[in-house]
Amino acid sequence: MKLTQPFVTEVDFSSGVLSPARSSYQRHLSDMPGYYAERDVVARILADEGDRLIYEVQSITLPADEGQLPHCTTRILPGRIGAEFHMTKGHFHARREQGEVYFGLSGRGMLLLQTADGATSVQPMQAGTAAYVPPYWAHRTVNIGAEDFVFFCVWTAEAGHDYATIERDGFRKLIVLRGGQPVIIDNPKSA
Ligand code: S6P
Ligand code: ZN
């Protein structure tokens, strides 16, 4: 067994920036055009405005050994693609029985969850919210506010990620702006 040494990381709650700097990646609109319901709006934004940063993740990478607890921040920028709020891709864990914990650091968001059987749940998140992603639930986060929505995540190294299922099927619910408010609607493509 190779022993991992204890360490700390400073987290900036408003930006999600980690110190010392850790690995990070960004997701732009061009990385996820098929995830949004209004494909014509995606194409128009990409043509007229150019690519748009949707979210970024700063993560503490650990050995992929059982028992390790990778953790990260996610910052979703405010904005919409048509009526639909900026969001993460969303995924199941490859090992479906592995859960996760999110903790809200700043801004306002929604955690959208769904099982393989099609059960759905939407949980509000803001600074100070500890949100539990139980085993077997796919999860996506959505920024419903005017500021960055930033949260902290802790999951298990053995969980792995399955993006393909959500990329193919989407979520059964969408979070959109209607009458000036974020509302949860049925995804017409899942009907
Ligand atoms: C990992 C955890 C988060 C997400 C991140 C980005 O299990 O759920 O760190 O990776 O919020 O979302 P996504 O769906 O693009 O991985
Ligand atoms: Zn996850």
Summarised one tens digit per residue, pLDDT across range 29-39 is 999 999 999 99
Within a domain: 113: yes
Domains held by the chain: number: 1
For 111-149, how does the pLDDT look when each residue is reduced to its tens digit (9 = 90+)?
999 999 999 999 999 999 999 999 999 999 999 999 999
Average pLDDT of 58-87? Answer: 97
Within a domain: 64: yes
For 5-42, how does the pLDDT look when each residue is reduced to its tens digit (9 = 90+)?
999 999 999 999 999 999 999 999 999 999 999 999 99
Within a domain: 103: yes
Within a domain: 67: yes
Q: What is the pLDDT of residue 1?
A: 73
Within a domain: 4: no
Is the pLDDT at 91 greater than 80? The verdict is yes
Within a domain: 46: yes
Within a domain: 63: yes
d(CA 166, CA 138) in angstroms, rounded, equals 8
Distance 148 CA to ligand 2 centre (A): 20
Domain containing residue 140 = 10-190
CA atoms 39, 40, 45, 48: torsion sign: positive
| pTM summary value | 0.98
Q: Give the CA radius of gyration of the chain.
A: 17
Within a domain: 112: yes
Is the pLDDT at 191 greater than 80? The verdict is no
Mutating to test ligand 1, I would choose from 153, 158, 165 the residue with most ligand atoms within 8 A of its C-beta, which is 153
Phi, psi angle pair for 100, to nearest 5°? -165, 155
Q: What is the pLDDT of residue 146?
A: 98
Report the CATH number at residue 34.
2.60.120.10
Q: Do 22 and 9 contact (CB within 8 A), yes or no?
A: yes
For 162-174, how does the pLDDT look when each residue is reduced to its tens digit (9 = 90+)?
999 999 999 999 9
72 lines ligand 1 (CB under 6 A): yes
